[in-house]
Amino acid sequence: MDHPHVSPTAPAMAPTEADRTFAGSIPQLYERYMVPMIFAPYAEDMCRRVVARQPRAVLEIACGTGAVTRQLAAALPATTAITATDLNQAMLEHAIAQGTGRPVTWRQADAQQLPFPDDAFDLVVCQFGAMFFPDKRQAYAEARRVLRPGGAFLFSVWDRIEENEFADVINQALIKAYPADPPAFMARTPHGYCDTALIAQQLLAAGFAQPPAFETVTARSRAPSAGTVATAYCQGTPWLGEIEARRTPTVAEATSLAQAALVERFGDGAVEGRIQAHVVTVDN
């Protein structure tokens, strides 16, 4: 695994309250488009890592619409207890509605104030949620608190936006569409927390005694069309709220501009692009 390094990116900015708002039509579009396009490959990877550790009790934080939860429910033995939480009730309800092949305990919870006792879990898992925590050190301290001695915290964060081609192309298109005040959600939050040296420092400050291990995992993002990708990003993420707030161009127009930029880069028809993330493992 890679040693901590400083990624060539701007200093991490704290997520805004709007960045954490996944409501209205977003959960449905997120599950329909974003999960198969970018989250599913990493959910499978995360599941393999969890299964290899043979945990008795797993806590998933920031479970979203349940991409990782469903993988864990299918792969872990029935004797392994799975608890899945998310801050956003709308996302959690959508995850519950998707269902799992065996019982899972679902609970609305803030990662910074987990409603569980000390030493309750063998593993704490979080896929692409850490970027949204306002106080990351506090969230990490909570993960450590609920871990048993010898347990581990496994989580993933996206690498910088330039390493994630669909997001980067759309981001550049929106910068051109709104030159006076570009909607910066994707660069600011999902792709704004990729400095592994900073992550290691915050984990140490949270009380983890062991240095974290980092692995950079590259995968391919695929979609049936550029229009699917544009709709997914512009309307199935909190980018939607930023675009709506700017009024002109409209959401539909911004989505069309993003689609045109994707077609120019990747062609018409089915499209494929690189995605890249850091997977972090820290032992308790």
Q: Is 277 helix (H, G, I), strand (E, B) or coil?
A: strand
What are 169-213's pLDDT values in tens digits? 999 999 999 999 999 999 999 999 999 999 999 999 999 999 999
List, in order, residues 6 or more apart from 21 with CB less than 8 Å away: 88, 238, 241
For 20, which DSSP code?
Answer: G
Question: What is the rounded CA–CA span in Å between residue 29 and residue 274?
Answer: 21
Query: Coil, strand or helix: which one is 11?
Result: coil
What pLDDT is recorded for position 25? 65
| Burial group, residue 154, by CB count within 10 angstroms (0-12, 13-18, 19+) | buried
On average, the pLDDT of the chain sits at 92
Helix, strand, coil % over all residues of the chain, rounded to 5: 45, 20, 35
Torsion of CA 10, 12, 18, 19, to 10 degrees: 90
Summarised one tens digit per residue, pLDDT across range 31-76 is: 889 999 999 999 999 999 999 999 999 999 999 999 999 999 999 9
HEC string for 124-186: EEEECCHHHCCCHHHHHHHHHHHEEEEEEEEEEEECCHHHCHHHHHHHHHHHHHCCCCCCCHH
pLDDT category, 18, cuts 50, 70, 90?
low
SS3 113: coil
pLDDT tens-digit readout, 123-176: 999 999 999 999 999 999 999 999 999 999 999 999 999 999 999 999 999 999
Q: Model-level pTM greater than 0.95?
A: no
Could you give the CA distance from residue 50 to residue 58 in angstroms, rounded to a whole number? 9
CA 231/CA 255 separation, integer angstroms: 6
